[in-house]
């Protein structure tokens, strides 16, 4: 399938484990567009702080770390590179994810990363995150909001863990962490996780990825944005 307009922007938002990363990649591949995972940017900021032993709730210190690190970072469809080295798999760790949700609550960090996201989106892309449809790309041509039950989202996260991680974390731990992250992401004051009024909601609890993809592609066709 091909986009029918240049610079097509598709926003996908949703809570952790809702399948937005998987669906963003599959949709982007189906359309030949770049995919931009904005969670990686907050994870990158958190990882830098963890490495430099900077408190992730100290707004001024986090901003300082991020401003210095950003010129050495490259954010691409394939992931995030630091000094030309791919650090995506490190960023995907659970500890970095939890720290990222604290960093993401800092307004100065969000302001700095907003510009990075908007600049890269100009070329056209599928972008996934928490505030893409509401704040980053309010003019996106199509917005999807993915959801799934808490238990199903925790189960999906568990499947992504390796053997060693599974020995350390139970499903109950994951449910607890996910609930904490959901609360922080949706209750924070700045750009909380929120469904845009014009977003199409897809509950993927009982859907396979190919079914979700099919639904998304049909929306694009119906709106004359792809064929
Ligand atoms: O999607 P993720 O798990 O990789 O995101 C990591 C954290 O970053 C998550 O707790 C919320 C935050 N985030 C955000 O606040 N806004 C975004 N656009 C993307 C992620």
* Residue 91 domain flag: yes
* pLDDT recorded at residue 15: 93
Tokens representing 208? 């396979």
Task: Please give the model's pTM, rounded to 2 decimal places.
Answer: 0.93
Q: How many domains does the chain have?
A: 1
Which CATH number is 115's domain given? 3.40.50.300
48 Cβ below 6 A of ligand 1: no
In terms of phi and psi (left: phi > 0; alpha: psi -120 to 50; beta: otherwise), the region of 12 is beta
- pLDDT for residue 70 is more than 90: yes
pLDDT (average), residues 73-90: 97
Q: Whose C-alpha lies nearest to ligand 1, atom 18?
A: 129
39 Cβ below 6 A of ligand 1: yes
Query: What tens digit of pLDDT does each residue of 137-175 get?
Result: 999 999 999 999 999 999 998 888 888 888 888 899 999
Strand pairing class (79-82; 73-76): antiparallel
* Residue 227 domain flag: no
Domain that holds residue 98: 9-221
* Residue 16 domain flag: yes
* Residue 71 domain flag: yes
CA 134/CA 131 separation, integer angstroms: 5
* pLDDT recorded at residue 19: 93
Residue of 46, 114, 129 to mutate, ligand 1, most atoms within 8 A of C-beta? 129
73 Cβ below 6 A of ligand 1: no
Query: What tens digit of pLDDT does each residue of 4-60 get?
Result: 899 999 999 999 889 999 999 999 999 999 999 999 999 999 999 999 999 999 999
- CA 110 to chain centroid, in Å, comes to 13
Q: Of 66, 90, 70, whose CA–CA distance to 79 is shortest?
A: 90
* Residue 1 domain flag: no
* Residue 57 domain flag: yes
CA 185/CA 192 separation, integer angstroms: 6
Tokens representing 127? 């972008």
């Amino acid at each position: 399938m091909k986009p029918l307009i240049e610079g097509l922007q598709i926003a996908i938002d949703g809570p952790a484990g809702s399948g937005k990363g998987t669906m963003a990649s599959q949709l982007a591949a189906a359309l030949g567009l770049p995919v931009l995972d904005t969670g990686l940017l907050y994870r990158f900021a958190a990882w830098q702080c963890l490495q430099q032993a900077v408190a992730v709730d100290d707004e001024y210190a986090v901003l300082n770390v991020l401003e210095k690190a950003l010129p050495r970072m490259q954010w691409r469809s394939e992931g995030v590179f630091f000094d030309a080295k791919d650090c995506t798999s490190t960023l995907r760790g659970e500890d970095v994810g939890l720290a990222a949700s604290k960093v993401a609550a800092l307004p100065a960090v969000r302001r700095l990363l907003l510009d990075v996201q908007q600049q890269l989106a100009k070329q056209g892309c599928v972008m996934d995150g928490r505030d893409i449809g509401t704040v980053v790309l309010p003019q996106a041509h199509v917005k999807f909001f993915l959801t799934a039950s808490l238990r199903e989202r925790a189960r999906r996260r568990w499947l992504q863990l390796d053997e060693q991680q599974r020995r350390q974390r139970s499903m109950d731990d994951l449910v607890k962490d996910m609930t904490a992250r959901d609360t922080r992401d949706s209750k924070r004051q700045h750009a909380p996780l929120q469904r845009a009024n014009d977003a199409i909601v897809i509950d993927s609890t009982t859907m396979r990825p190919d079914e979700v993809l099919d639904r998304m592609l049909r929306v694009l066709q119906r709106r004359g944005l792809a064929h």
